[in-house]
Amino acid sequence: MTMKYDQLEISVQNLREKLQDAKVKRNMLQIEKDMIHDFYHNTRAEITEKEAKISNLDTAMQTEESEHRT
């Protein structure tokens, strides 16, 4: 397991480049994960809002129907 100094320097440089590439890829994946998380929560909030609107409209329709009958 002996290496010459030049070979060791090249090996260290290659490993540093691989580490830098891995860091960049990890950061990109983390950004994508955060975006998906934000989209999910925004969509979930919109769904909740729409369900509340539908419920309010349904209640209003029932009230109007009841008033119409009387």
Cα 70 to Cα 60: distance, rounded to the nearest angstrom = 15
Asked if 3 and 11 touch (Cβ cutoff 8 Å), the reply is yes
Helix (H) and strand (E) counts in the chain: 1, 0
Q: What is the pTM of this model?
A: 0.65
- Express each pLDDT in 3-51 by its tens digit: 798 999 999 999 999 999 999 999 999 999 999 999 999 999 999 999 9
